[in-house]
Amino acid sequence: MNDLVIRNCLDFNQNKIDIFIKGGKIKEISEKIQISNIPEIDAQGHFVSPPFIDSHFHMDATLSYGLPRINQSGTLLEGISLWGELKKDLTADAIKERARKLCKWSIARGTLGIRSHVDVSGNNLMAVEALLDIKNEMKDFLDIQLVAFPQDGLYRAKCLNNLKTALEMGVDVVGGIPHFERTMSDGAYSVKTLCELAEKKGLLVDMHCDESDDPLSRHVETLANETTRLGLEGRVAGSHLTSMHSMDNYYFSKLIALLVEANLHIIPNPLINITIQGRHDTYPKRRGLTRVPEQMKAGLNVAFGHDCVMDPWYPLGSHDMLEVAHMALHVAHMTGAEDMKECFKAVTTNPAKVMHLDNYGLEKGCNGDLVILQCKNPVEALRLKPPRLYVIRRGQIISSTDPVKYKINTGKEELVDLIF
């Protein structure tokens, strides 16, 4: 029986609340819940939030850092070359072992939803089978959504049949990478083909789109148009969209209207975008991130992704979505109080919308999935990236840790916790 009471916590708006979870669902939220004989947590005035959600990740490559060698240049192209070498030696057991470890890190960080792309452009679908197994194995602890991703290009790698087979096997979302096709026209045609496939099958779409510094990489325009033409509004996401940092303002003013019309979800990946983009620049050097503040101001749903953790493209990370949001607010110049709160939403409620997660949130009737952090509010969470004191899934504690305090001696001993 997944019943739990959480007392003395602070919500997003700094209200002091108790939360009663019954049968894995939030039954009551109020200032003081009168109930006994049920397991309790005393949050001691700390911040409670729905869990973190990562709407863009690559679980088939995660934790493979150093295999078969290290990406010395840190570039996208060397990472792609490395991945090509690594794929030849991949085994299902190795993929599952690394993915399983990553999922445990995710739980410890309070990340309980992951949309992972899985490469379908090779000679077999071993990685698809492996991650479907992990999805089923971890279903009681976190939500995993898989994207059929033609990483080497749908037409470049001639892998449309593989992608269709992956969907038949149980992969959830149609993926694509139009900017990696051989020509602009092939890229546009791949967007059309994949959106039509998703419409026919009633599936969501998530495309790597315009992950480039090239201002003429404009496949998101085609993606928005196909979304509207096929009636897919609200079901399609454009990931990366970094070419927008190179586009002129006049073209962007036209483009943003198309994105709004299509109700397109936007998924920047701040850590990897600013690492990989701008590599052809000396100075001035482009920042590498799509136009996040402008997209949010236009009313688009913007969700940040982690993308990579210790793989051929990125040598760091522990799947902490607060690290992602922390980087984003700096690069996007979003250090105003309300802007920072929006960055917190971009790793919680916004990606939940991208993934169409049911019953997500901190409201009566939502799933009893919560994270209690050692801080007082969402902005402090971004500042400190603090310990997740409790991670709760359907009313059960699946991860916990003690509060961190530092013993300081400046003539007398005292404990300091860094909370403002």
Q: Where are the beta strands (DSSP E) in 134-272?
A: 143-149, 173-176, 204-209, 236-240, 265-267
Whether the per-residue pLDDT at 323 is higher than 70: the answer is yes
Residues 6+ apart with CB under 8 A from 201: 167, 174
> How many angstroms separate the CA atoms of 287 and 270, rounded?
10
Average pLDDT over residues 162-190: 98
Do the domain assignments include residue 102?
A: yes
Question: Which of 10-24, 76-90, 392-406 is the least confident region?
Answer: 76-90
CB atoms within 10 A of CB 95: 25
What does R_g of the chain's alpha carbons equal in angstroms? Answer: 22
pLDDT for res 193: 98
Do the domain assignments include residue 418?
A: no
pLDDT for res 176: 98
- Averaged confidence pLDDT in the chain: 97
Is the domain of 210 the same as that of 276? yes
> Which H helix or E strand runs over 197?
helix 184-201
Is the domain of 246 the same as that of 392? no
pLDDT tens figures, 58-68: 999 999 999 99
Is the domain of 308 the same as that of 230? yes
pLDDT tens figures, 80-139: 899 999 998 899 999 999 999 999 999 999 999 999 999 999 889 999 999 999 999 999
> How many angstroms separate the CA atoms of 53 and 139, rounded?
15
pLDDT for res 77: 86
> How many angstroms separate the CA atoms of 183 and 229, rounded?
23
Tell me if 219 sits within 8 A of 178, measured CB to CB. yes
Q: 181, 211, 323, 342: which one is catalytic?
A: 211
> How many angstroms separate the CA atoms of 286 and 278, rounded?
5
Average pLDDT over residues 290-313: 98
What CATH number did the domain enclosing 162 receive?
3.20.20.140
Given 339, 354, 369, which residue is the final one in a domain?
354
Do the domain assignments include residue 163?
A: yes
Name the residue among 341, 369, 340 with its Cα closest to residue 4.
369
Q: Helices 321-331 and 337-345 sit at what angle, rounded to 10 degrees?
A: 140
Name the residue among 354, 357, 59 with its Cα closest to residue 207.
354
Is the domain of 190 the same as that of 335? yes
pLDDT for res 122: 84
Average pLDDT over residues 197-208: 98
Do the domain assignments include residue 415?
A: no
Strand ranges of the sheet holding 143-149, from the earlier edge strand across to the other edge: 52-57, 111-119, 143-149, 173-176, 204-209, 236-240, 265-267
Is the domain of 240 the same as that of 293? yes
Is the domain of 207 the same as that of 103? yes
pLDDT for res 1: 61
Classify residue 400 by burial, with Cβ atoms within 10 Å: 0-12, 13-18, 19+: middle
3 state DSSP class of 273? helix
> How many angstroms separate the CA atoms of 408 and 401, rounded?
21
Domain count across the chain: 2
Is the domain of 92 the same as that of 188? yes
Question: 307: alpha, beta or left, given left = phi > 0 and alpha = psi -120 to 50?
Answer: left
Which two tokens mark 203? 């599936």
Residue 182: pLDDT band (50, 70, 90) is very high
Q: For the chain, give the number of residues.
A: 420
What CATH number did the domain enclosing 18 receive?
2.30.40.10
Name the residue among 30, 50, 14, 110 with its Cα closest to residue 379.
14
Is the domain of 199 the same as that of 271? yes
pLDDT for res 162: 97
Do the domain assignments include residue 150?
A: yes
Question: Which of 66-70, 133-137, 342-346, 350-354 is the least confident region?
Answer: 66-70
Q: DSSP secondary structure string, 354-406?
A: HTT-TT-SSSTTSBS-EEEESSSSHHHHHHH---EEEEEETTEEEEE-PPP-E
> Which H helix or E strand runs over 57?
strand 52-57
Do the domain assignments include residue 263?
A: yes
Residues 6+ apart with CB under 8 A from 146: 115, 116, 117, 118, 128, 131, 132, 135, 170, 171, 172, 173
Whether the per-residue pLDDT at 32 is higher than 90: the answer is yes
Is the domain of 318 the same as that of 388? no
Classify residue 343 by burial, with Cβ atoms within 10 Å: 0-12, 13-18, 19+: buried
**Could you tell me the residue range of the domain that residue 281 belongs to?**
52-354
Write the single-letter amino acid at 184. Answer: M
Does the active-site annotation cover 211?
yes
Is the domain of 371 the same as that of 297? no
pLDDT tens figures, 33-44: 999 999 999 999
Is the domain of 73 the same as that of 16? no
State if pTM tops 0.75: yes
Tell me if 60 sits within 8 A of 130, measured CB to CB. yes
Can you list the alpha helix ranges (DSSP code H) found in 249-392? Answer: 249-262, 270-276, 292-297, 321-331, 337-345, 349-354, 378-384
Q: What percent of the chain has pLDDT over 90?
A: 96
3 state DSSP class of 209? strand
> How many angstroms separate the CA atoms of 312 and 157, rounded?
20
Is the domain of 26 the same as that of 57? no
Do the domain assignments include residue 417?
A: no
